Every structure is written in C-alpha cells, then in structure tokens.
Amino acid sequence: MGAGGLGCPASLYLAAAGVGRLTLADSDKVDLTNLQRQILYRAEGIGTPKVEAARSALNALNPEVEIAALQSRIDFKAAQMLVAQNDLVLDCTDNFATRHLLNRACVQHHRPLVSGAAIRFDGQVMVFDLRQPDSPCYSCLFPEDGEVEEVQCSVMGVFAPLTGIVGATQAMEALKLLAGIGESLSGKLLLLDAKKADWRTVRVKKDPACPVCATS
C-alpha cells in the first residue's frame, strides 16, 4: 500500500526475489519532486499514475511477477477486500487514516502487517504478525484516537537514502515472514536516527485494552 518512497524500494526487492503476485495501491501520479527518493520512477514518467509506472518498472526487472495496479485511495471496503486477498501487507503509506484502516483489516483477517515510516532524518519499521494471538497491533502502539501530529514527506521533507533503508527493511521482514525464516520484528519497534546513524529497538506489547485487537 503506497508506491512512494518506501513502496518503491520494497516492491523492487519483492519483485526481484520472485514474490509471485504483488498488488500495488496508490492514487498519485509521478511528480518531479518524487524522483529524489521514489526510485522506480524516471523523469520521462512524470504525470503517469504511479502504479502504472511502478508496474512497468517491476515487470522490466521480473516479467514473471503478476502485478495488480490499483490507482485509488483506500477506503474501508477496499482495505478489507485487498487484505483478505493477499497473504501479507506492507504499509508504505504516509497518513494515519490509511494506516489504521489497514491495521483494522489485518487484525480482522489475521494477516501480517509490515509497517514503515520515514520523515526528515527519522525512520521506523514495525511488524505486527497478526496470525499470532499475542501480537500487538498498530493501534496498540498508536491509538486511533491518539493525538498525533500528521507530518508528511511532501510537506516536511525526508532524507532520501533513509526511505531506501526503511523500504528495504520492510521487504526483508516481508520475505522472512512469507518464507518462515528466522525471527521477525514482531513485537518490536525499530528506530533509526539517520543523523546519528543510531539504531534502536523498543519492545512493544499488546495492549489488553486496545479497542481494535483486544476483542478479536
């Protein structure tokens, strides 16, 4: 979900790895200001829907990957349908409303959710393996009614290589979850301070009072 700064590198690694079917959802068109970090796009593609430009770039890399391109905003119904149809969800969006829609759908359908965020010099990656009953959800960490200041890259800017690192880490976690390899970041929040080149991991527990996942 989201074919921007995080979705571009994440989908490149997934397609290159041979993940058989990818669904890309994004309502935007390629803009000149995207090219600094959204590495699937080229100057000649400005004005093209992102999901179309992304599909042709990914298929140029691996023609055998089946790519569904959805050029629309994700509402509740679309989130439910898309999550139910796919094995795993990467949240590469930049707004809390969509993040919470995806989280609710992943809780309901027990799908692993690999969430990434990058703004200015700060990056974070989280995995919510909602196949596990004791897994926290996105809302345990960032409640839906919480006071969050919405900051977006289009307004605040982001250090371009940071989006590559976060997106590639999301692809790494997604491939591990799909293949059942190793230990995922589930229950942990990975924080990267790019200015200090400092990585930290913070444990996240399921909130027993979480209105989204506690009763499911």
Q: Which residues bind Zn ion (CB under 5 A)?
A: 137, 139-140, 210, 212-213
Give the whole-angstrom CA distance, residue 93 versus residue 149.
15
167: nearest Cα among 23, 16, 22, 38: 38
Q: Is 144 exposed, middle or buried (0-12, 13-18, 19+ CB in 10 A)?
A: middle
H, E, C per residue of 27-70: CCECCHHHCCCCCCCCHHHCCCEHHHHHHHHHHHHCCCCEEEEE
Cβ 83 to Zn ion shortest distance, Å: 16
Contacts of 120 (CB under 8 A, 6+ apart): 156, 157, 158, 159
- Find the residue with minimal CB distance to Zn ion: 210
Cβ 96 to Zn ion shortest distance, Å: 15
* Closest CB to Zn ion among residues 28, 207: 207
* Closest CB to Zn ion among residues 85, 216: 216
C-alpha atoms less than 13 angstroms from C-alpha of 61 in its C-beta half-sphere? 20
Q: How many residues does the chain have?
A: 216
* Closest CB to Zn ion among residues 38, 139: 139
* Closest CB to Zn ion among residues 11, 139: 139
Cβ 26 to Zn ion shortest distance, Å: 26
Give the whole-angstrom CA distance, residue 21 versus residue 119.
29
* Closest CB to Zn ion among residues 92, 106: 106
Cβ 34 to Zn ion shortest distance, Å: 32
Cβ 179 to Zn ion shortest distance, Å: 26
Q: Which two tokens stand for residue 35?
A: 């090219």
